[in-house]
Structure 1
C-alpha cells in the first residue's frame, strides 16, 4: 500500500502544492501517452472534416492546428481512466489529502506546445468555501523543465483571491515569492485548487501533456452548491468503480462500505455522466488585459 511521507504532507500544508516523483508505472504512463496521441489525431481529423466538437480546444496561433485541451477523458477510455485513478499513488492522495468521500470531479488533458502556442496567465482555480479539501492533481506525461513554461506558484496564496491584475501588471511572471516547479514524465503534482499559479510560454519543441484531475469530498460539493446532488452521486459511483479496480491493499479501511458496490456497469455509468453533464466552477483570472514589457509574452519572444 502506498503512503505519503509526513514531510510531503507538511510541505503541501505550508505551500499549497507538492510533487510526487515517479508516481506512475512505466506501463500506465505509456498507455496514457498513447491515448493522448490518439485524441489529438482524432481532433485534427474532426477539424479536417469540419466536425469540431466542444469537448476539446484547438490552437492555431502557430499556423497549424495543435490541441490545447481535451476534456472528460472518461468518455473516451473509461477503463484506462479507472486504472489511473486506482493506481497506488492516486489512491494514497485520495485517502490522505482528501479523505473519505473523495470523488473525481473533472479529468481533462492539457497540451502545451512551443510558443506561440498559448501560455497560461496568472489565475486562481475554482474559488470555494475552504472547509473541505479541493485538489487539482497534475499527472505529467512529459517533462516540464525550469525556464521552459513549467508551473509557477506563489506559495501559500491559496487562502483568498488576490488582485491578479495589479500583481501581474507590476511584476509580470515574477511576482514576489514566485517559485518554478519542474516535473518529469510520470510525476504527479498536487496543488490546492485556489493557489495562484501560471505557466509562461514553452520554448522547446514537442508537446508537454498533463492530465488534470479535480478531487473533492462529496460534502464539499454539497456545501458549494455549484453542482447538483445527482451530479455528485454519479461521481460517487465513479469512485466506487475505482475502488473495485484498485488492489485490495490500496483501498482505505471503511471505503468499500462508504461507497458501496457500483449500481451500474462502467459503460452505463459513463453514459449517465455524459448525459447529466454540468459545468465546472470557473477559475478566476485578471479582469483586464495586462500591459507589461515581459508578460504575458516575454520580450525576447515578441
Structure 2
C-alpha cells in the first residue's frame, strides 16, 4: 500500500537551545516531532555501554518483574522492555536532566511538568517482536486541559525501515472509537502512516494518544530506545493516576538528576536546566531521593 506523504520538520539540538514555536505547533497538530543530535559523544557512548547490561540480562531471560517480554508470531518469547531504567543506570539519571529536552518540555507543558514513566524498549537483533498499532494511554476522563502528555524517546542505535517506529500523523486528535477501529485492522497496515527513521542520539517526542507501532523484526539490528514520559503537574494533580505524594517525590528526583548531570564530565560548558515549578508545585527544601524506583502501583490513586 502507498504511504502517507507529509513534510516532517526536524529540530536540531546542536543548532538550537530548545524547540521553536513552529516545531512545537507541528508537534501539537501531528502528535510527534523529530529532534536530531540530542545525545552525542561520551554521553551517547556511556548510555550505549550501560544499557547493554540491561539488554544482556533481558536476552538471557529474567524473572525480575522489571524485565518484560513479547511473543513473536512463531510463539517464541523474546525480550522487549526494562522498566525503571533510571534506577538501573547512572547515565540515565543524567539523561533525565538534559537541558534541551527539559526546556522543550516546559515550552509545551509549562514549568510545572512532572517526569513520570521511564523505560528502556529494545528490538533485539533479527528477532524483534512486533508492537501493534496502539495508544500509550488515554487522557484522563473529564480533562479539558489542552496541553499534551507525551513521551520523549531517546534513540541509542540506528532505526531503519526494519526497526523504526511508524506513526499516524494527527491520530492523537481522533475519537476513541475511531482509534480503536484503526487498531483493529488486520496485519500492520501502513497506508495512512509514515516511518520515522532515526540515528543514534536522536529523539522523538510522541503524544501518548498518537497511534504508533512497529512490525515484527526480520534481519533487524539491535535498537535501544529510552522512554521518559512527562505530564503537566496540573493534570496529574487533578486527575492522577498518581497520588500527590508521587508528584513531589518525582520532582525531588528530577532535581537530584539535574545535580548529577552538572557533575558529569561530558556536560562541561552546558547550561543546566533550572527547574523552578511555581504555586502548589513549588519544591521548597530539596530532599535527597531515597530511591530512583518509585513504582507506579504503590502510588496509584484509589
TM-score normalized with structure 1 length: 0.78
Number of corresponding residues:
271
- For the residues of structure 1 that align with 2:219 and 2:36, how far apart are their CA atoms? 22
- Rate the CA distance shift 1:201–1:186 in 2: closer, same or farther, 3 A: same
Name the structure 1 match of 2:215: 200
Residue 54 of structure 1 and its aligned partner are, at CA, apart by: 0.7
Name the structure 2 match of 1:286: none
CA contact (8 A) 2:95 2:261 kept: no
CA contact (8 A) 1:137 1:214 kept: yes
- For the residues of structure 1 that align with 2:241 and 2:292, how far apart are their CA atoms? 21
Q: Tell me how large the CA RMSD over aligned residues is.
A: 3.0
Q: Match for 1:149 among 154, 163, 174?
A: 163
- For the residues of structure 1 that align with 2:296 and 2:179, how far apart are their CA atoms? 36
- Rate the CA distance shift 1:56–1:156 in 2: closer, same or farther, 3 A: same
* Alignment map for 1:42-191 (pairs within 5 Å): 42-44=57-59, 47=61, 52-59=63-70, 61=72, 66-77=78-89, 79-114=90-125, 116-128=127-139, 129=143, 131=145, 132-146=147-161, 148-159=162-173, 160-164=175-179, 166-170=181-185, 172-174=187-189, 176-191=191-206
CA contact (8 A) 2:98 2:273 kept: no
Residue 200 of structure 1 and its aligned partner are, at CA, apart by: 1.3
Residue 91 of structure 1 and its aligned partner are, at CA, apart by: 2.1
TM-score normalized with structure 2 length: 0.78
In the alignment, structure 1 segments of 5+ residues that lack a partner are 281-302
- For the residues of structure 2 that align with 1:72 and 1:22, how far apart are their CA atoms? 24
In the alignment, structure 2 segments of 5+ residues that lack a partner are 1-15, 263-269
Q: Match for 2:244 among 216, 219, 229?
A: 229
- For the residues of structure 1 that align with 2:212 and 2:297, how far apart are their CA atoms? 31
CA contact (8 A) 2:188 2:215 kept: yes
* Alignment map for 1:214-253 (pairs within 5 Å): 214-245=229-260, 249-252=271-274
- For the residues of structure 1 that align with 2:184 and 2:254, how far apart are their CA atoms? 42
CA contact (8 A) 2:127 2:218 kept: no
CA contact (8 A) 2:155 2:202 kept: yes
CA contact (8 A) 1:231 1:276 kept: no
CA contact (8 A) 2:151 2:207 kept: yes
Q: Please give the secondary structure, in 1, of the residue aligned with 2:94.
A: helix
Stretch deviating more after TM superposition (187-196 or 236-245): 236-245
Residue 185 of structure 1 and its aligned partner are, at CA, apart by: 0.9
